[in-house]
Structure 1
Amino acid sequence: MSTSNGRSSVTIIGGGASGVLLAAHLLRDPKTDIRVTLIERRGQFGQGLAYSASQRDHKVNVPARGMSAFADDPEHFWRWLQTRGYPAARGSWVFVPRRLYGVYLEHVLSEAGQSRLGRLVVLSEEAVAVHEGKSGIETVLDNGTSLISRSVVLAVGHETQPARGRGIAVRVGSERDTPLPENAPVMILGSGLSMVDAWLSLADAEHKGPITVVSRNGLLPKGHRDVPPINIDAADVPFGTSLPYFMRWFRALARETEARGGDWRSVVDGLRPYNQRIWKNWTSNAKRQFLRHLRPWWNIHRHRLPPELHERLVRAVGTGQVKLVAAEFLGVERNGDGARAQIRRRGTSERETMDIARVYDCGGVSVDVLSSSNPVIRDLVANGRARPDTFRIGLDVDENCAVVDADGKSHERLLVVGPLTRGRFFEIEAIPDIRVQAATLAARLLAQG
């Protein structure tokens, strides 16, 4: 067992974007006396699920001007790109490869460690449990050792469920995602951003076979445009109203903006500063209705594609190579060297069978937290030291990101940052939101001494 002496010691479990951003904010001020231990089982810091994509066309879906690690220094990422000779012809409204952003986060972490020499420790280990004690919080590692610190922060980020279809469907980029014959028919489950990754992988491999995209709503993500957000006064936002009333207000504002020659994207982006407040002011029933009925429409307008990728995808749909099908996926079985899938198109009761060479499961990353594969989350929930949020899309936390246990008590020394707090904040999956949460949490931890 090792102990971080003194009150100012924080262990961060998870070395993806959320963990790196929190560590960077904790170590940003050289005058503070704090020790930070960052644990990442994969040994790749700053990458995580999102920024480990290796292909050139797998890009971030936020322009570079919005991807700084620090909200109060919005040009930080852009300046870093310039030091690497990144083309500046189009300015900072560019969408960089995700792998490059992962390199940037590694740089941010390295800078934080250099500025506070000896205060940052990174461990390529897996945390398996967290226990609170009188002397601090113990983080138990898979190698049999443990760490004691004043606070522990879970920054485990996104997690995907195993691919559907009893192991027949595959995940993009996994070991089972082997090369296909160029004319092989393919099915993709889900039509969101993960689907775009699968389609890009096929397109980059010059795949010429038909690609059937199956999702309940058959919706494609929209594309970005370089338009400014409109100014929305907080007094004009109908916080706490019913979901139907809110949607009528939102649609009316979008129509009014477009009637003046504006763009609906300006309305979506103008509302962004209030998204978390809107979510928190809805009733549980309104939130449940949103997740069940409106989330797909919100996602395609809110989480948009870089314009050039959107144009390519629209062309692929137009040529017929990519076919969108609004349907329920019923299951899949092996069929020789390929697979046979069954779907039920929306509005019908008939089953339809399709023979394909492969099924890609791109159903997204929002999973039931009770099905988590993370040993720390499983241990905390099983022992009542944490509980799922109301919708089981993350852990229950209070307004200060402290974990809430099975009895409803907040634990100020056990905290969460990033997507695992989506039940409380919902809009907490993109860098512009996570960096603010990380800065706020870091300030609170530093203030504790």
Structure 2
Amino acid sequence: MTDQGRPSVTIIGGGASGVLLAAHLLRDPASDIAVTLLERRGEFGQGVAYSASQRDHKVNVPARGMSAFADDPDHFWRWLQAQNYPSPTGSWVFVPRRLYGTYLEHVLGEAARLRPGRLTVQAEEAVAVRQGATDVETVLANGTIIASDHAVLAVGHETQPARGRGIAVRIGSPEDTPLDPDAPVMILGSGLSMVDTWLSLAQIEHRGPILVVSRNGFLPKGHRDVPALPIDEAEVPFGTSLPHFLTWFRALVADTEAQGSDWRSVIDGLRPFNQRIWQSWTEHTKRQALRHLRPWWNIHRHRLPPEQHERLSAAIAGGQVQLIAAEFVGIERHGAGVRATIRPRGQQDRQALDVARVYDCGGVTVDVETSSNPIIRDLIANGTGRPDPLHIGLDVDENCCVITAAGATSSHLLAVGPLTRGRFFEIEAVPDIRKQCADIARRLLEG
């Protein structure tokens, strides 16, 4: 213990994962644990996901599933009602992401109010951690060192740099200067980030053609308010090959639809078992799933709010949005615009397309060794942490303790949220992260 016998935790990252963990640590009135929450931007609860400023950028989970606390599932819905948020469909409503960020700020503020003196927040950047025999030191960019019993990495998602040596841009970045509203543009990627970019273009009434290029040509599916299918644990084929698992899964979907139900019920019914399914697979099967299954899984698992899906479908049907299944080869400046080279799926020949701008919506960083976060680079460089075998996150054990380069399990350094995707895979959304945070908080409070 680092403060006269008082247990202490430093949380590095003040996005959703960090705020949820802090709130869970501070729920127990019997504990006097001291929590320090670090976020370099000074905006707590925002992060990559919930800092979106546009009203059309919405959470893709209905309000009924977005409580900060799994054991109080109506917590977010009650807060929404207290804000007089209009919802003719009740808790089946998809709110703006910025509003959910405000809710997380409220959750953190309530935790501080109810447990005075136990929470410290700092608008500082952590650049390194150093483990001792009985504690861990967090080194800040300003030179300050914070000693605590435990440190938890909650750095969340990290966006890849835009491709093409700065020729492609991110929507809303300083490079995203005003466009001719009739100019053609290209979007690389067809997932949820693409939808955000398309919505941003729609908000400024962009009229020109929008070419959406992705390797598989998939688009996210839309939500429907259907119940999750009850699935018995004994029915799930844990630890089998990917072909065997997919045969079982497709048969279950076909049977469910034959009975008049919806495939979404199967996806949602499988959710309690997703992490265990992933962990039951061999590394070879996991690699197969990442390469071949993940694009299909993402569009069915991470769905769009119904109204957004309807708007996007109408834009495609009307011809403004054109979906192209192709491999992105490269881009170069061409006059006042950009020339993009692609290879359409199933073809050998390349195709050059001239557009005014290319928006890169390639998603989050998948190789942790390419991280631009100084604390992650430092961890890997000094062996305090190591990439998981698939390099999609840090290597952690079943309790989220970071594993060193030598294979030892840290007793003082943990990770939470998307950084642990190599171990848990399904750890992107609030319903999964809040459970992980509750489990970590319980173990830390038990000592």
1:99 aligned onto 2:74 = no
Moved more, 267-276 or 364-373: 364-373
Displacement of 1:5 in angstroms is 4.0
> For 1:136-151, what aligned pairs fall within 5 Å after superposition?
136-151=135-150
SS in 2 for 1:121: strand
Displacement of 1:173 in angstroms is 1.8
2:101 maps to amino acid: G
Q: Distance in 1 between matches of 2:273 and 2:365?
A: 22
1:39 aligned onto 2:38 = yes
Q: Distance in 2 between matches of 1:50 and 1:90?
A: 24
Contact 1:216 1:327 in 2 (8 A): yes
Q: Distance in 2 between matches of 1:146 and 1:260?
A: 61
Q: Distance in 1 between matches of 2:162 and 2:87?
A: 40
1:197 maps to amino acid: D
Displacement of 1:174 in angstroms is 1.3
Contact 2:6 2:32 in 1 (8 A): no
Displacement of 1:336 in angstroms is 2.1
Aligned residue pairs total 446
In structure 2, the residue matched to 1:67 is 66
2:326 maps to amino acid: A
Provide closer, same or farther for how the CA distance between residues 4 and 11 of structure 1 changes in structure 2, counting only shifts above 3 A: farther
In structure 1, the residue matched to 2:225 is 226
Q: Distance in 1 between matches of 2:130 and 2:4?
A: 17
SS in 2 for 1:104: helix
Q: Distance in 1 between matches of 2:394 and 2:416?
A: 10
Q: Distance in 1 between matches of 2:305 and 2:3?
A: 44
SS in 2 for 1:428: coil
In structure 1, the residue matched to 2:374 is 375
Displacement of 1:134 in angstroms is 3.3
> For 1:184-333, what aligned pairs fall within 5 Å after superposition?
184-333=183-332
Q: Distance in 2 between matches of 1:367 and 1:286?
A: 18
Unaligned runs of 5+ in 1: none
SS in 1 for 2:61: coil
Displacement of 1:135 in angstroms is 4.6
1:88-114: CA deviation from partner (whole Å, max 9, x where unpaired): 421100000000000000000000111
2:316 maps to amino acid: V
2:391 maps to amino acid: R
> For 1:35-184, what aligned pairs fall within 5 Å after superposition?
35-184=34-183
Contact 2:170 2:359 in 1 (8 A): yes
Q: Distance in 2 between matches of 1:416 and 1:344?
A: 39
Q: Distance in 1 between matches of 2:252 and 2:178?
A: 47
Q: Distance in 1 between matches of 2:3 and 2:82?
A: 36
Displacement of 1:160 in angstroms is 1.0
Identity %: 73
Q: Distance in 2 between matches of 1:413 and 1:136?
A: 6
Alignment TM-score, normalising by the size of structure 2: 0.99
Unaligned runs of 5+ in 2: none
Q: Distance in 2 between matches of 1:98 and 1:270?
A: 25
Alignment TM-score, normalising by the size of structure 1: 0.98
Displacement of 1:8 in angstroms is 1.1
Displacement of 1:4 in angstroms is 4.0
Displacement of 1:87 in angstroms is 1.6
1:246 maps to amino acid: F
Q: Distance in 1 between matches of 2:57 and 2:250?
A: 32
Q: Distance in 1 between matches of 2:390 and 2:293?
A: 15
Contact 1:4 1:147 in 2 (8 A): no
1:375-405: CA deviation from partner (whole Å, max 9, x where unpaired): 1110010011110001111000000000001
SS in 1 for 2:113: helix
In structure 2, the residue matched to 1:356 is 355
Contact 1:61 1:306 in 2 (8 A): yes
Contact 2:129 2:137 in 1 (8 A): yes
Q: Distance in 2 between matches of 1:147 and 1:175?
A: 34
Contact 1:57 1:200 in 2 (8 A): yes
SS in 2 for 1:344: strand
SS in 1 for 2:331: strand
In structure 2, the residue matched to 1:28 is 27
SS in 2 for 1:37: strand
Displacement of 1:29 in angstroms is 1.5
1:127 maps to amino acid: A
Displacement of 1:179 in angstroms is 2.1
Displacement of 1:319 in angstroms is 0.7
Contact 2:6 2:34 in 1 (8 A): no
